[in-house]
Chains A and B, each alone.
Chain A
Amino acid sequence: MSISKEQVQHVARLARLSLTQEEVERFTVQLNDILRFAEKLNELDTEGVEPTSHVLPMANVLREDEVRPSWPREKVLINAPEQKDGMFRVPPVFEE
């Protein structure tokens, strides 16, 4: 499998990255190199092998659904790039 420039641009859109033409060229070459390298895994027969997503033998960790104190609004907004009326402010989402 190899990845084309168009696919690189498609993946960039999925990841919400706008790439310069130069970045598209460079990433196409580099991602192809890395994927070709990763294809070594196809040497291995993994039929019937369970995938490992996590090494610890634990399943869902549950706790009681109790009300606990939380941070005050002002504190949560400390790092907000823009705020208004105690809320995060963003540019328009819908056209008027």
Chain B
Amino acid sequence: MSLLKEPLKEIHKRLSEGDCSAKDLVDLSLKRIDEVEDRVGAFITVDREGARARAEELDKQLAEEGERGLLAAIPAGIKDNICTEGLLTTCASKILANYTPIYDATVMKKLRAAQAIPVGKTNMDEFAMGSSTENSGFHLTRNPWDPERVPGGSSGGSAAAVAAGEVFFALGSDTGGSIRQPAAFCGVVGLKPTYGRVSRFGLVAFASSLDQIGPLTKNVEDAAYVLQAIAGHDPMDSTSADVEVPDYLSALTGDVKGLKVAVPRELMGDGIDPGVREQVLKALRVLEGMGAVCEEVSLPHVRYAVETYYLLAPAEASSNLARYDGVRYGVRAPADNLMELYYNSRSTGFGAEVKRRIMLGTYALSSGYYDAYYLKAQKVRTLIKRDFDQIFEKYDVVIGPTTPTTAFRIGEKVDDPLTMYLNDICTIPVNLAGLPAISVPCGLSGGLPVGLQVIGRPFDEETVLRVAHAYEQQAEPLPEPPLGGDRS
């Protein structure tokens, strides 16, 4: 019995048949963490005591009530920029190294209501700024497929934890690809919901007009389960949309007959590694075999997306990160006066990439440059969004690769911010347009996972999930990452 490999539906069944308990599941997860964590480094904090206590309490509750939540007894990893009451939440930043939230993010309240069990907080690029998790203020996370390679980022810990079988699923956040890119690099499923679908209350803000929380899972069905649990309007987040949440599981029909698929040539061109392109083309043939109609289209402004993003996101970040001043929470550096307190706390607390983005954003917003950079980028954002609006008048989904390459080597891009930024070329346009998108594994290239990205209309996660699920049913499953050990 290798429970850690099983889909959530199967766990649900075994739990209700009394085949396993919450305690068994938490023990399995913690045992696997003991076994592989020194080689993966997915977690910043593992809450053994809390998880065991919750499991015990839940087993009693389940025995008495019989009623089971959607994610009952499922051990989960939570990205360390999501506030967890009473549990350290650092954003992988030294400036928050001692921060313990006094409240739960709305997604945490919802996970707890669905009876999931958080076992720990996962590593990430500091304040979610990065594409490799190398910008963590604490330690590296290694890709379970190759310890010399990055897991992607910024939700690299969440992706690695799921790929390594340390947890059944994890939550991440995605501002420019931070769920989908690490999911692609680690061979797992990653879903970024429509902007506004999931509450951002309690998610430490990076770029507020782009950030969105979503699941990283072993398969598409599990992603539907987790989205079901966390989606919905929240009065505590005024940008959360008051839109009805459909039944995502019933969307997984396996039927894509007649589906109209747009394949943007801008995301299949020279910048895309041939091995990645080949796997994506194979996946498109699989979908065509099932009756989908794939056509090449053009999204002419998508090639300006990275430039647009790297003005807008740092501008929003520079404003959001002004709150770290050493006064009310976080690490305070020694100082003789208040101004020195700000300077010292921020200069010692933030890492290089965070400083770089604060500088860039402050400059783009500063007097005399606002129109040339920030306003210009906001206008191009409109053009990028219009490209998608027009395509979605005729097509149901847009499909392409999630990333231009497979996982790169640790250290390869860390000193060259621009090259690192260009790795987000396929995912960034989706955030700028606020759309839902999923990355689903589509084979290996050079022994490393490739991700297929399915992008949908606003609030049409159902179609995105349906297409990814239908493809997954037909695709050859990935082998296990070569970590060894057993997951039973």
Pick from A27, A46, A82, A91: contact of B380, CB below 8 A: A46
Are A91 and B335 CB-contacts (below 8 A) given A17-B359, A81-B327? yes
How many B residues face the partner with a CB closer than 8 A?
69
Q: Which residues of B contact A53 (CB under 8 A)?
A: 209, 378
The chain A residue sitting closest to B235, CB to CB, is: A63
A44 and B239 alpha carbons, distance in the complex (Å): 30
The chain B residue sitting closest to A20, CB to CB, is: B347
Are A78 and B239 CB-contacts (below 8 A) given A34-B310, A44-B380, A91-B341? no
B382 interface residue (CB < 8 Å to A): yes
CB distance from B366 to the nearest CB of A (A): 7
Cβ contact within 8 Å between A14 and B379: no
Give the contacts of B369-396 with A (CB-CB under 8 A): 369, 372-373, 375-383, 385
Q: Which one of B291-299, B300-308, B464-472 is at the A interface? A: B300-308
Cβ contact within 8 Å between A52 and B378: yes
Cβ contact within 8 Å between B359 and A41: no
Are A55 and B347 CB-contacts (below 8 A) given A14-B362, A71-B102, A88-B327? no
A49 and B341 alpha carbons, distance in the complex (Å): 43
A75 and B381 alpha carbons, distance in the complex (Å): 41
Give the contacts of B403-439 with A (CB-CB under 8 A): 417-418, 421, 432-434
B99 interface residue (CB < 8 Å to A): yes
A38 and B310 alpha carbons, distance in the complex (Å): 8
How many A residues face the partner with a CB closer than 8 A?
51
Cβ contact within 8 Å between A17 and B385: no
Pick from B311, B347, B432: contact of A19, CB below 8 A: B347
Interface of B, secondary structure class, is: helix
B332 interface residue (CB < 8 Å to A): yes
Cβ contact within 8 Å between A18 and B344: yes
Give the contacts of B50-79 with A (CB-CB under 8 A): none
Pick from A34, A50, A55, A58: contact of B418, CB below 8 A: A34
Q: Which residues of B contact A49 (CB under 8 A)?
A: 379, 382-383
Show the binding face of B for A, using Cβ within 8 Å: 98-100, 102-103, 195-196, 209, 235, 238-239, 241, 301, 304, 307-308, 310-311, 318, 322, 325-332, 335-344, 346-347, 350, 355-356, 358-360, 362-363, 366, 369, 372-373, 375-383, 385, 417-418, 421, 432-434, 458
With contacts A61-B238, A79-B102 known, what are 9 further pairs, Cβ within 8 A? Answer: A7-B363, A17-B355, A30-B356, A46-B383, A49-B383, A50-B382, A51-B379, A55-B434, A55-B458
Q: Which 10 A-B pairs have the closest CB atoms?
A: A55-B434, A51-B378, A79-B329, A81-B332, A46-B379, A61-B238, A52-B381, A49-B379, A16-B342, A52-B382
Between A and B, 15 residue pairs with Cβ closer than 8 Å are A11-B366, A16-B343, A17-B359, A38-B311, A41-B380, A46-B379, A55-B209, A55-B458, A56-B195, A56-B241, A58-B241, A78-B100, A79-B98, A80-B328, A92-B338
